Amino acid sequence: MEEKRKSEAIYKSIMLIIITILITAIVTTIVVYNVIVNSGKIAIKSQSTDSLEGLESTLASFRTALEEKYIGEIDDEQMVEGAIKGYIEGLGDPYTTYYTKEEMDDLMEETAGNYVGIGIYITLDIENNAIYIIKPMDGSPAEEAGIQSGDLITKVDGVSYTGEELDQASNAIKGKEGTTVKLEILRGEETIELEVERRTIILTHIVEKKLNDNIGYLLIEDFDGGCADEFKEKFEDLQNQGIEKLIIDVRNNGGGIVDEAVEIADMLLDKGDTILITRNKNDDEEITKSDNDPIITMPVVILTNEYSASASEILVGALQDNERATVVGTKTYGKGVIQELARLNDGSGLKITIEEYCTPNRNKINEIGIEPDIEVNLPEDLINSADIPEDEDTQLQKAIEVIKEK
């Protein structure tokens, strides 16, 4: 058993070196400590880390100190995983992330449309470096426990998390079905503790509704796998009910898979219209255009707010710049970067920010967002409400007013 653990540790060490090679071009110096522990009994020597050999030597010095002095048990696998995570976090990019095998399995399951958890949409609140709850899912354990839109998660099972640690907090919230997780929530100035049961969450991407005056309404909750197919299916269902105009709602939609947003844009734009423009680190540019004639030709209004992000902004930018839809609501979040997810040989994963994108008119999105054509705010007392009555939803009512004139 011990030999197996050592073999796994050696393999993890190799993977650390491989990942180091991948991103060493953007790492110039690592600060290394010159520490004397316990009155000089153990010396951790200062090492130059301008090379991989220096990094390995430094880690080996730390390991020697731990073996000689640390009173607890040393788990090699956890140590190496922690080292890799810390190395990637050193980039300072909240979207570039290392996933352990277990975390990668959970991510793949969630992206495919189901996972075990409590059922919340969360995002990074950059301004406050906090974990912001966009909203609980309908009928989810989170909704049943009283979690609300606008709540901030400060602790998970007694462990504090900042916004930059969103992925770690998300993984801590997930777990085995039937178990519970304790959350510390900040709601305004009030701190609330809630215990929430984990259950299997079956994700649906689209909520459809037929409004008065033959207006169709499609709420896109995320852009995970299968979203575009579900969007087409729900639209055709509304079309069979006789709708003549369409409102698309991406408020509180934090994004998902870029290709799903591109597919939906393709359903609405003329063949050859530009959907988005991406640039990599070498400023090489790629232009994505609509491949097909549109299947949706009726007038469209799209609803946005400050938590419409990433893939949502791709769709909004494409429709706005091609003058295919009127954008109503508030300015979007401003996440204009794209990540690539790679699965490594041991089952772990690395998500890397590889491109920045802009709208068809070459408007930058990242850290800026997209301004609506018509700005409308919700009433202040409803901003963080998970379920806003239709007649009190000022943004939706404005969208209905606008589309009636089309």
In this structure, the answer to whether residues 196 and 310 fall within a common structural domain is no
Q: Which of 143, 174, 201 is the last residue of a domain?
A: 201
| E strand or H helix that includes residue 159 | strand 159-160
Amino acid at 40: G
**Contacts of 16 by beta carbon, 8 Å cutoff, 6+ apart:** 80, 83, 84, 87
**152-187: per-residue pLDDT in tens?**
999 999 999 998 898 889 889 988 899 999 999 999
d(CA 382, CA 374): 19
Q: Classify residue 219: in a domain, yes or no.
A: yes
Catalytic-residue membership of 310: yes
Q: Classify residue 96: in a domain, yes or no.
A: no
**197-207: per-residue pLDDT in tens?**
999 887 788 99
Q: What's the order of all strands across the beta sheet hosting 374-375?
A: 206-211, 215-220, 245-249, 300-304, 326-329, 374-375
Rg (CA), the chain: 24
In this structure, the answer to whether residues 370 and 301 fall within a common structural domain is yes
In whole angstroms, how far apart are CA 78 and each of 50, 81, 312?
Answer: 26, 5, 36
Q: Is 291's pLDDT higher than 70?
A: yes
Angle at 312 between CA 310 and CA 316, to 5 degrees: 120
Q: Which of 170, 201, 232 is the last residue of a domain?
A: 201
Catalytic residue among 151, 321, 348, 351: 321
In this structure, the answer to whether residues 352 and 281 fall within a common structural domain is yes
Q: Is 119's pLDDT higher than 60?
A: yes
Give the structural domain span for 194: 114-201
Q: Classify residue 101: in a domain, yes or no.
A: no
Q: Classify residue 104: in a domain, yes or no.
A: no
d(CA 166, CA 132): 9
In this structure, the answer to whether residues 319 and 262 fall within a common structural domain is yes
What is the pLDDT at residue 107? Answer: 80
In this structure, the answer to whether residues 273 and 399 fall within a common structural domain is yes
d(CA 171, CA 99): 10
What is the pLDDT at residue 149? Answer: 87
Catalytic-residue membership of 321: yes
**226-269: per-residue pLDDT in tens?**
999 999 999 999 999 999 999 999 999 999 999 999 999 999 99
Q: Classify residue 136: in a domain, yes or no.
A: yes
Phi and psi for 68 in degrees, rounded to 5?
Answer: -85, -30
Q: Is 391's pLDDT higher than 50?
A: yes
Question: Does residue 132 sit in helix, strand or coil?
Answer: strand
CATH number for the domain spanning 172: value is: 2.30.42.10
Question: Does residue 156 sit in helix, strand or coil?
Answer: strand
In this structure, the answer to whether residues 272 and 370 fall within a common structural domain is yes
Q: Classify residue 352: in a domain, yes or no.
A: yes
DSSP string over 70-114: --S---HHHHHHHHHHHHHHTT--TT-EEE-HHHHHHHHHHHHTE
Q: Classify residue 374: in a domain, yes or no.
A: yes
Torsion of CA 254, 259, 263, 265, to 10 degrees: 50
Q: Classify residue 400: in a domain, yes or no.
A: yes
Catalytic residue among 310, 348, 351, 398: 310
Q: Which residues pair with 197 in a beta bridge?
A: 180
20 is written with which tokens?
A: 């180091």
Q: Which of 40, 57, 91 is the last residue of a domain?
A: 91
In this structure, the answer to whether residues 122 and 256 fall within a common structural domain is no
CA 227, 204, 256, 114 torsion: positive or negative?
negative
In this structure, the answer to whether residues 226 and 266 fall within a common structural domain is yes
Number of domains the chain is built from: 3
In this structure, the answer to whether residues 149 and 284 fall within a common structural domain is no
**131-160: per-residue pLDDT in tens?**
999 889 888 999 999 999 889 999 999 999
Q: Which of 32-46, 262-276, 322-336 is predicted with the least confidence, judged by mean pLDDT?
A: 32-46
In this structure, the answer to whether residues 295 and 398 fall within a common structural domain is yes
In this structure, the answer to whether residues 314 and 196 fall within a common structural domain is no
Categorize the per-residue pLDDT at 50 as very low, low, confident or very high, splitting at 50, 70 and 90. low
What is the pLDDT at residue 384? Answer: 66
In this structure, the answer to whether residues 258 and 347 fall within a common structural domain is yes
Catalytic residue among 135, 234, 245, 335: 335
CATH number for the domain spanning 294: value is: 3.90.226.10
Q: Which residues pair with 114 in a beta bridge?
A: 202
Catalytic-residue membership of 7: no
Of 171, 347, 365, residue with least CA distance to 258:
365
What is the pLDDT at residue 182? Answer: 97
Question: Does residue 165 sit in helix, strand or coil?
Answer: helix
